[in-house]
Amino acid sequence: MITGHTKVVGLFGHPVDHTLSPAMQNAAFQAAGLSYCYLPFDVHPSVLKEAVRSIFPLGMKGVNLTIPHKQTVIPFLDRLSHDAERIGAVNTIERSGTLLVGHNTDGIGFLKSLHEQQVDPGGLRVILVGAGGAALGVALTLAQQNITEMILIVRTTEGRTIGGTTQLAARLTAWFPMLRLSLLEMTDRIGLPHLPHFKTLLINATPLGMREGDPFPFPPSLMETGWIVADLVYRPFETPLLREAAKRGIKTISGMGMLLHQGAAAFEIWIKENAPVDVMRKALAAALSE
Ligand code: NAP
């Protein structure tokens, strides 16, 4: 129920039409008996600064950020959390007194999605495909979890590295100089060698799998029994990569868990109390099936 006391939080993105966050966060506020409202705001990049400063006069508690604002917002903030600084991207702004503080809950959201599936990344080899903002958050969080090594799949074409992998590798090396890190080329002609190893966590951090007909982000024939395969894509809930892994008896982890837990972490940043995770999970599942 919206009253004169209702506080507003929301999402700044461009576009925001397909977001599931309002369903998840509003269900959480209702369950917690809080007079809060979560709204999507389609903020064009040209007015991002004004939108961010409006958090003060509108008395908002904070906002989430999505594409394309996660990095460009940083100059408009007063302070960054340790995670946001390391990752170089912000997905949650907290209004803390007279300051705007940037946080990044993607990595912790992914880690919690592993934990709730009884997966401890400690001792695992990680193969990461994709080098965008989400990959960076996941990679920097996993690098703190005692993993044995990380292999980044590098896209190349005609002998040239393309994409953001080099930048991701540079950030990882700067923050975690002791991490065993290698880059493996997946060229447009050659593909990957076999990577047999029992304890492996393969992560798709590219958008491949969202659209029908997308190529696989990783050749399914190279996935081994005993691996764990996680996808950051949450729509569809089971991507073709996860389906292929499940067919081979491999444990799979959908991107919905990360979506849920990064949202729960944002709720906790704003509200300073535990998020009603089960309520949020149900609301997400209902929104996803619509
Ligand atoms: P992004 O910053 O645009 O990065 C996408 C990455 O995928 C880039 O490294 C890009 O390569 C790579 N890529 C794109 N098309 C590719 C292709 N055809 N082959 C190989 N690599 C390709 O996006 P993002 O924010 O990191 O998000 C990535 C995915 O994660 C999206 O599907 C998003 O929905 C999902 N996500 C999920 C959650 C969650 O809570 N579950 C949270 C955040 C994001 P280049 O470097 O060449 O551009």
pLDDT at 157 over 80: no
Protein residue closest via CA to atom 23 of ligand 1? 132
Cite the DSSP H helix spans in the chain: 21-31, 48-53, 82-87, 106-115, 133-142, 165-175, 240-247, 255-271, 277-288
Structure confidence at residue 189 as a pLDDT band (50, 70, 90): low
Give residue ranges with CB within 6 A of ligand 1.
Answer: 106, 109, 130-135, 155, 162-164, 205-208, 210, 232-234, 255, 258-259, 262
Distance (Å) from CA 208 to ligand 1 centroid: 8
Ligand 1 atom showing the smallest separation from residue 136 Cα: 26
| pLDDT value of residue 58 | 95
Ligand 1 atom showing the smallest separation from residue 168 Cα: 9
Chain-centroid distance of CA 46 in Å reads 24
User: What is the average per-residue pLDDT within 159-186?
Assistant: 84
Structure confidence at residue 195 as a pLDDT band (50, 70, 90): confident
| pLDDT value of residue 154 | 79
* Percent residues over pLDDT 90 in the chain: 81
Distance (Å) from CA 206 to ligand 1 centroid: 3
| pLDDT value of residue 252 | 98
| pLDDT value of residue 227 | 95
Distance (Å) from CA 129 to ligand 1 centroid: 9
Q: Which residues are CB-contacts of 111 (< 8 A; sequence separation ≥ 6)? A: 121, 141, 142, 145, 261
The best mutation among 72, 204, 232 to test binding of ligand 1, ranked by most ligand atoms within 8 Å of the C-beta, falls on: 232
* DSSP states of 129-197: E--SHHHHHHHHHHTTTT-SEEEEEEEEETTEEESSHHHHHHHHHHH-TTS-EEEEEEETTT-PPP---
| Short-list 219, 157, 217, CA closest to 189 | 157
Distance (Å) from CA 153 to ligand 1 centroid: 13
> Catalytic one among 70, 199, 247, 251?
70
The best mutation among 18, 128, 206 to test binding of ligand 1, ranked by most ligand atoms within 8 Å of the C-beta, falls on: 206
Establish whether 70 is a catalytic residue.
Answer: yes
Protein residue closest via CA to atom 16 of ligand 1? 206
| Short-list 255, 198, 245, CA closest to 223 | 245
